[in-house]
Structure 1
Amino acid sequence: MSLQQAMDTFMPLIEQELRACMLSPESGNDAFAGMMHYHMGWSDEHFRPTTARTGKRLRPLLTLLACQAAGGSPQSALPAAAAVEIIHNFSLVHDDIEDRSPTRRGRRTVWSLWGDAQAINTGDAMFVLAHLALQRLSCYGIPAHCVVSALRILDEACLALCRGQHLDLAFESTLEVDADAYMAMITGKTAALLGCAMQLGALVALGEMILTERYRSVGEKLGLAFQIQDDILGIWGEPEVTGKPVADDLRSRKKTLPVIYALNKAEDIWANRLRHLYSQEQLSEADVIEAVRILDACGARAYAEQLATRYLHETLAEIEALGAEPQATGVLRELALSLVQRAH
């Protein structure tokens, strides 16, 4: 089975389970459920059904693949897959408020349409729905003790995610951020939920927490590689591929890994100039071009690419060490490669 075949098989099942776990608008004007459906890409801003861009559904796919790799039936892990994806989307609704992001996936964000208070409430409701989704595991014959363990895994990942977001927000007000602090931030904000996704799938298959730690480690390593690649694309990605302006992360003055490397490791003349640029309230297009040149000159891109490759190799080695079901192992390997070598 190839990655494409796995996606063709699993994505419709994931979408069906997600819809089953989310509240259905009782009528065309049920704004409470409608705001959630809007964020998920299922309705327009008037709550009419539509087909908009959705996320990659990476996390639920990892859950099903981990379950299959551990010898279980992927279908039995669908509630866990849905729970992880709903948690991911709850975090995006709140992130958009905190970052004041006006758009996501080519559409206006929930807060920009309905205000901060309603967006906070929408995210809170999705957080609850994720937990209710996970409890649907009992409908698939999963024992009660496994459901309780699954809830604990999910909550621990949520706490790590919030800790990572706390660090990310704290970074906005300082230029004194080093690589260790950055890694701690993305371990919580990105890697924890990918680790959770794989651990939940393994738990459904194996039935014991102690046997699932290796799967979580695979997901976390993949999450680190994935986020670093995202940082690279946020500066050097092609606009026609990423859908974002060139060097968009610099324009937003984000403290991504290449920037942190330059601030801490570049020669003083380059580091100081970059500090000056990042101290401004707004960067002009000329400033953005200059910042890219500084990052190129000090080897920041090469450093980030080497680190992403290192975590990719560690991920691949840990996938092999699982000794898992061969087909799912092959798909996991292909997925890891595609995520770190992607152009968007």
Structure 2
Amino acid sequence: MRSTWESFFAEWLPPLEAEMRQAVGEPTHPGEQLFYGMLMYHLGWADAQLRPARVDAGKRIRPMLCLLACAAGGGDPAQALPAAAAIELLHNFSLIHDDIQDRSQTRRGRPTVWALWGVAQAINAGDALFVIAHRALWRLRQRGVPAERILEVAERFDAACLMLTKGQHLDLAFETADRVTVADYLEMIRGKTAALLAASLGIGARLAGFPPQELEAFGEALGMAFQVQDDLLGIWGDPAVTGKPVADDLRARKKTLPVIYAMERAPGFAERYRAPDTPLEVLLRDLEACGARAEAEATAAVFTRQALEALERAGLRNPYGEALRELALALLSRSR
């Protein structure tokens, strides 16, 4: 039997995809085939030969949170569809650029845009999605949203854009930094991961005419917990479930939260971590011995509690409010 949020997703995913396709558009002459083809490929609507296809492009969590927040606040999710589409398109702009910056060859089992068509074209594709995301917001006029509310939503959307890029800046800076503190790291994920989740919920609430503060607090804490959980899975996740090798983040020498805890607390760990020939078994033993895993798990639990408390304060006594709670718990108990 489907949960409330699963039923909501099943109902609203097709209209969301249709709204996104309309926002993206399609080529009007042969010279635009590759331009639109790259976007459709990245969004899961085309294969590498630019033929129509439907492949895994993610669960569309952020736009669905926007629609759920609108419904929970007493609004009509159909009216919020352009904003939900804009949120997902903005998220995908960031993914295309992240893949370039991280030199990631694959995403969800397929070659990344830059790996197929080069860095320059991928930058252009990401820029295009950034602009298309903003243009998608203006489609709210066609849904009867008052101009003043559209401007309020657009301002919140742009604030999230800036926080997102600030977070990515910090993430890139950490790669060469001699020292990164836990506080530094939490500030980074507050921008890179949590900002767009908070905005998704806040925008949905605004479109329903519902006070957004507690839903935004819920979204931020949910994003923080989600990222810390992701850090744990990147080291201790089951390869059969995650699809990644054991301790993949350690192999890549990523400065995730358990690693930063260990750098602060375990003598000599930082030096061993920087050394490329240190066996993964040694690093895993260090992390367990200094309590880094337990500390990261405790941090995830703190943010989870904060998220659920904020949602409770929002006072959404309806099935959609319960669906938000169910979805949060499902995301935070995931194994991949």
Structure 1 residue 24 displacement after superposition: 1.7
* Counterpart for residue 279 of structure 1: 274
1:237 aligns with 2:232: no
1:81 aligns with 2:84: yes
Deviations 1:246-278 (A, max 9, x none): 111111111000000000023x1xxx1x32233
Q: Structure 2: how far apart are the matches of 1:132 and 1:7?
A: 24
Confirm or deny: 8 A CA contact 2:99 2:112 kept in the other structure. yes
Of 312, 320, 331, the residue aligned with 1:328 is 320
Structure 1 residue 73 displacement after superposition: 0.7
SS where residue 334 of structure 2 aligns? coil
Confirm or deny: 8 A CA contact 2:168 2:192 kept in the other structure. yes
Residue correspondence of structure 1 range 213-232 to structure 2 within 5 A:
213-232=213-232
Confirm or deny: 8 A CA contact 1:233 1:343 kept in the other structure. yes
* Counterpart for residue 260 of structure 2: 260
Segment drifting more, 7-16 vs 146-155: 7-16
In angstroms, what is the RMSD of aligned CA positions? 1.4
Q: Structure 2: how far apart are the matches of 1:69 and 1:297?
A: 44
Confirm or deny: 8 A CA contact 1:153 1:196 kept in the other structure. yes
* Counterpart for residue 11 of structure 1: 13
What is the aligned-residue identity percentage? 50
SS where residue 30 of structure 1 aligns? helix
- Alignment size in residue pairs: 333
Confirm or deny: 8 A CA contact 2:5 2:320 kept in the other structure. no
Structure 1 residue 228 displacement after superposition: 0.5
- TM-score normalized by the length of structure 2: 0.96
Confirm or deny: 8 A CA contact 1:87 1:126 kept in the other structure. yes
Q: Structure 2: how far apart are the matches of 1:337 and 1:112?
A: 35
* Counterpart for residue 177 of structure 2: 174
Structure 1 residue 146 displacement after superposition: 0.9
Structure 1 residue 23 displacement after superposition: 2.2
Residue correspondence of structure 1 range 129-278 to structure 2 within 5 A:
129-206=132-209, 211-266=211-266, 268=267, 272=268, 274-278=269-273
Deviations 1:85-139 (A, max 9, x none): 1000000000000000000010001111111110100000000000011111111
Instruction: Give the partner amino acid of 1:264.
Output: E
Instruction: Give the partner amino acid of 2:201.
Output: M
1:337 aligns with 2:329: yes
Instruction: Give the partner amino acid of 1:90.
Output: F
- TM-score normalized by the length of structure 1: 0.94
Quick one: structure 1 residues 152 and 131, their matched pair in 2 at CA, closer, same or farther if it must change by over 3 Å? same
* Counterpart for residue 304 of structure 2: 312
Confirm or deny: 8 A CA contact 2:46 2:52 kept in the other structure. yes
Structure 1 residue 15 displacement after superposition: 1.5
Structure 1 residue 21 displacement after superposition: 1.2
Structure 1 residue 325 displacement after superposition: 4.2
Confirm or deny: 8 A CA contact 2:273 2:283 kept in the other structure. no
Deviations 1:282-311 (A, max 9, x none): 45xx72222112111111111111111111
Quick one: structure 1 residues 27 and 242, their matched pair in 2 at CA, closer, same or farther if it must change by over 3 Å? farther
* Counterpart for residue 115 of structure 1: 118
Instruction: Give the partner amino acid of 1:340.
Output: L
Confirm or deny: 8 A CA contact 1:17 1:78 kept in the other structure. yes
* Counterpart for residue 292 of structure 1: 284
Deviations 1:36-73 (A, max 9, x none): 00111111111101121111211001001110111101
Confirm or deny: 8 A CA contact 1:71 1:324 kept in the other structure. no
Q: Structure 2: how far apart are the matches of 1:123 and 1:27?
A: 21
Q: Structure 2: how far apart are the matches of 1:254 and 1:202?
A: 35
Q: Structure 2: how far apart are the matches of 1:316 and 1:66?
A: 14
Structure 1 residue 11 displacement after superposition: 1.7
SS where residue 54 of structure 1 aligns? coil
Instruction: Give the partner amino acid of 2:11.
Output: T
Deviations 1:138-190 (A, max 9, x none): 11110011111111111100100111111100100024001000000000000
Q: Structure 2: how far apart are the matches of 1:80 and 1:42?
A: 20
Structure 1 residue 326 displacement after superposition: 1.4
Structure 1 residue 27 displacement after superposition: 6.8
Of 92, 95, 105, the residue aligned with 1:92 is 95
Q: Structure 1: how far apart are the matches of 2:207 and 2:60?
A: 19
SS where residue 136 of structure 1 aligns? helix
Instruction: Give the partner amino acid of 1:21.
Output: A
Structure 1 residue 25 displacement after superposition: 3.6
Q: Structure 2: how far apart are the matches of 1:292 and 1:94?
A: 31
Confirm or deny: 8 A CA contact 2:164 2:196 kept in the other structure. yes
Instruction: Give the partner amino acid of 1:7.
Output: F
Confirm or deny: 8 A CA contact 1:154 1:196 kept in the other structure. yes
Q: Structure 2: how far apart are the matches of 1:246 and 1:27?
A: 47
